């Protein structure tokens, strides 16, 4: 979902910039980013908590910061906190005034009537509601008065495995790297091993978690094939999870960040409609500031980009792939 939100925002940047510049048919990516940064400044909230599980009657203590381009925001003076249950209903809601450093201490008192289950805490300003994908969220588990300790280990339905293909989607016929996370019924990470098989039961690869229920594996999805992940839970139950379907066209992206001096971006193209993806523009930004832009041409054998880390501003490096028509197709 995060990937879809970010790509939608990137597409919006270009449409908004072009609508304001109807006489200019070639809106560059850097000018579009500048337009977006000036006209749609992006606040970001950080939410710090001491733990991720609580009991009814306790107080959830928090600290929040609201920044704009790495400095205290001038757009908002109030932060809002929502406690939301698993059905998406707001259980508690509070608001706090930000201090001169755009920070504040916050708390939520858990009532004795609260039910046991998974909850989400959202922290945001009213301006951030224009871009809900950037609302700060924390998942917690609350033990209510109705809680009953299980008699046995995890039940078969208590484990979930989520897949995150690098770049956003699996692409047929090329090697894809897939990150995953395994969690229990409370959303806590679980460390397990497993394997990937195709629709005929053929073993493709094995995997195991590296830390906090997370890990990765590589797979080359083939046309007209489907893939299953099989793991065994702590109580001996065998669980299977279907991998997302692969697209028959597009570009897969892999980013190697192990080098201290540069991040290496490698592209691989599917055979389906490959002429639509001859030239791919690799764009990297940090907090709306363009730090790298380069065309790679598959017909000329140019499929790798090296993004220098020297003099990069503080923040998270966001890499997006565009077609020649400035259509975003993948993001890391």
Q: How many CA atoms lie within 13 A of 186 on its CB side?
A: 15
Side-chain half-sphere of 265: how many Cα atoms within 13 Å? 29
Task: Give the separation between CA 39 and CA 26, rounded to whole angstroms.
Answer: 19
H-type alpha helices, the chain: 2-20, 29-39
pTM comes to 0.65
Residue with tokens 């702590």: 234
pLDDT, one tens digit for every residue, the chain (332 residues):
444 444 445 555 555 555 545 444 444 666 666 676 667 778 888 899 878 889 999 999 999 989 887 788 888 999 999 999 999 999 999 999 999 888 999 999 999 999 999 999 999 999 888 878 788 999 999 999 888 766 544 444 578 899 999 998 999 999 999 999 998 877 788 888 999 999 999 999 999 998 888 999 999 999 999 999 999 876 777 889 999 999 999 999 999 999 999 999 999 999 999 899 999 999 998 877 888 999 999 999 999 999 999 988 887 888 999 998 888 888 88
Residue 250 main-chain phi, psi, to 5 deg: 125, -165
Sign of CA dihedral 162, 164, 170, 173: negative
Domains of the chain: 2-40+249-331 (2.60.40.10), 43-143 (2.60.40.1930), 156-242 (2.60.40.1930)
Three-state SS for 164? strand
Distance of CA 234 to the CA centre of its chain: 28
| Strand, coil or helix: 200 | coil
pLDDT at 80: 95
The owner of tokens 């989607």 is: 169
Number of neighbours of residue 241 by Cβ within 10 angstroms: 17
136-143 and 53-55 strand pairing: parallel
- For residues 141 and 114, what is the distance between their CA atoms, to the nearest angstrom? 11
Determine contact, residues 9/131, Cβ cutoff 8 Å. Answer: yes
Per-residue confidence (pLDDT) for residue 232, from 0 to 100: 81
Locate tokens 């020649």: which residue? 324
Residue 3, pLDDT score = 46
Query: Dihedral through CA 11, CA 17, CA 18, CA 22, nearest 10?
Result: 170
Q: Is there a contact between 66 and 43 (Cβ–Cβ < 8 Å)? A: yes
């Amino acid at each position: 979902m995060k990937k879809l939100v970010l790509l939608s925002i990137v597409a919006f940047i270009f449409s908004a910039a072009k609508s304001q510049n109807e006489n200019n048919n070639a809106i560059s990516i850097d000018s579009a980013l500048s337009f977006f940064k000036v006209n749609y400044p992006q606040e970001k909230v950080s939410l710090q908590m001491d733990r991720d599980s609580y009991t009814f009657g306790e107080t959830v203590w928090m600290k929040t910061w609201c920044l704009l381009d790495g400095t205290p925001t001038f757009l908002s003076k109030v932060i809002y906190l929502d406690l939301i249950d698993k059905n998406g209903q707001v259980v508690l809601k509070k608001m706090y005034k930000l201090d001169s450093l755009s920070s504040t201490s916050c708390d939520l008192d858990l009532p004795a009537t609260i039910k046991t289950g998974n909850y989400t805490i959202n922290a945001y300003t009213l301006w951030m509601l224009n871009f809900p994908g950037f609302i700060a969220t924390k998942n917690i588990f609350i033990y209510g008065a109705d809680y009953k300790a299980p008699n046995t280990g995890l039940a078969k339905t208590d484990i979930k495995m989520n897949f995150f293909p690098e770049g956003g989607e699996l692409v047929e016929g090329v090697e894809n790297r897939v990150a995953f996370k395994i969690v229990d019924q409370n959303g806590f990470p679980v460390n397990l091993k497993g394997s990937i098989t195709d629709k005929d039961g053929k073993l493709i690869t094995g995997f195991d978690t590296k830390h906090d229920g997370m890990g990765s594996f590589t797979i080359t999805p083939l046309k007209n094939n489907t893939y299953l992940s099989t793991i065994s839970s702590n109580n001996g139950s065998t669980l299977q999870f279907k991998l997302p379907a692969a697209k028959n066209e597009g570009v897969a992206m892999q980013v190697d960040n192990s080098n201290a001096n540069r991040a290496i971006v490698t592209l691989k193209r599917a055979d389906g409609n490959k002429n639509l993806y001859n030239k791919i523009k690799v764009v990297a930004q940090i907090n709306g500031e363009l730090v790298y832009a380069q065309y790679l041409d598959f017909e000329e054998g140019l499929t790798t980009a090296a993004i220098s880390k020297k003099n990069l501003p503080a923040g998270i490096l966001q890499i997006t792939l565009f077609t020649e028509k400035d259509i975003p197709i993948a993001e890391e």
